[in-house]
Structure 1
Amino acid sequence: MLEFVLDRAPDLAYRSFQHVSLVVQCVALATVVAVAAALLVTTVPRLKPVANFISSVGLTVPSLALLGLMLPVVGIGTLPSVAVVTFYAALPILRNAVVGLEGVSANLLESARGMGMNPLLTFLRVQLPMAWPVILAGLRVSTQMSMGVAAIAAYALGPGLGGWIFTGLAQIGGQNAVNYALTATIAIVVLALLLDLLLRLLGRFTISRGISA
């Protein structure tokens, strides 16, 4: 297996970069969408059941099935991969963002309004910092889940390490079938752990000591 990896090191490095890039960009997009949706939900409480329904039911839909449904609409390649990974990435972030924003003290919000802060400043300076630890926890879950979903998205010829997994499955019984699948799987696990470490470090630098305490 070591010889297999060394012979294909450039391809492995490139696919690893593609995989991480896909996940990071999709999670970033999902975070923006989910936090905006959570802010809307906490502003209009009647929308909370809808958000809970989407986040609960969405996670029960198999990613491969959703990808198959999207192929006739958006075709194959990067677009369906981005759509599927972003969809699943947004679900845990949405749920945590709603919980985090709802947990912000009403007294703090009232004080912010009393100081003359408009809704945008109140969100950026009060609500988001207070809710950030909970949102970040959802973001970490989302990132780990997205690493696996991105691998499945290779079924639609998307970028990343999933292509090697499907190559190995397609060549079962062949000389390098196990090497392809096992190498890609191990690489995904290692990259997922590294991303989680980076998010933990991000939390240390972005979460106020008073909040974390």
Structure 2
Amino acid sequence: MWDFIVDRRSQLLINAFNHVYLVLLAVVFATIIAVALAVLVTRMPRLEPLANAVSAIGLTIPSFALIGLLLPATGLGDTTALVAVTFYATLPILRNAIVGLQGVDANLMESARGMGLSEPAALLRVRLPLAWPVILAGIRVSVQMSMGIAAIAAYVLGPGLGVWIYTGLTQIGGKNAVNYALTATIAIVVLALLLDLLLILLGRVTTSKGIRV
């Protein structure tokens, strides 16, 4: 298998880069969407049961079923892959963002407003920083999950390491079928672990020392 990797290292690196790019782009979009929805839920508590239900039920939708629903609207290619990964990536972040924002002491928010901070300023300078460790935990779960889900991109002609997995499955019995699938799978696992390590480091850098666990 080592010779297989060496002979195709350029394509492997390209696929790995595309895979990580797809996941990170989806997680960035998912984080923005999830935090915005979480802020809305904290302002309108009656929406919390609905948000929790969507978060729980959404994870039960099979990825291929979601792709089937998206294809008439977005067609084959990168767009469908990005929308699908973003959808799943949003769910764990949304749940954690709601918990994190709700966990901020109301007295702290009152103190912030008493010091003259507007509602948006208090959100950005007090509430979100205090909720950030919990939100980041959701982002870490989201990234790990998205690394696997992104492999489905190959089925809609999207980018990433899923192309090699799909190639291996379609060439079962062929000379390099196992090498294609196994190499891509191992690469996804390794990249997922590296991204998680980077997120842990990001947490250390971006979390205030006063609330760091």
TM-score normalised by the chain length of structure 2: 0.99
Who is 1:154 aligned against?
154
Instruction: Check the 8 A contact 1:64/1:153 in 2, yes or no.
Output: no
Q: Quick check: 1:134 aligned with 2:114?
A: no
Helix, strand or coil for the counterpart of 2:210? helix
Aligned counterparts, 1:189-204, within 5 A: 189-204=189-204
User: 1:63 offset after TM fit, Å?
Assistant: 1.0
User: 1:167 offset after TM fit, Å?
Assistant: 0.5
Partners of 1:81 and 1:198 in 2: CA distance: 24
What letter is aligned with 1:129? P
Aligned counterparts, 1:1-213, within 5 A: 1-213=1-213
Q: What is the RMSD computed on CA atoms of the aligned residues? A: 0.7
Moved over 4 A (4+): none
Partners of 2:121 and 2:71 in 1: CA distance: 41
Greater Cα offset, 37-46 or 65-74: 65-74
What letter is aligned with 2:138? G
- Deviation sequence 1:156-209 (CA, Å, 0-9, x none): 111000010011000000000000000000000000000000000000111112
Partners of 2:68 and 2:186 in 1: CA distance: 26
Partners of 1:120 and 1:23 in 2: CA distance: 29
Instruction: Check the 8 A contact 1:67/1:153 in 2, yes or no.
Output: no
Partners of 1:83 and 1:171 in 2: CA distance: 28
- Deviation sequence 1:101-154 (CA, Å, 0-9, x none): 000000001001111111111111110011000000000000000000100122
Partners of 2:85 and 2:183 in 1: CA distance: 22
- Aligned residues between the structures: 213
Give 5+ residue unaligned stretches, structure 1: none
Give 5+ residue unaligned stretches, structure 2: none
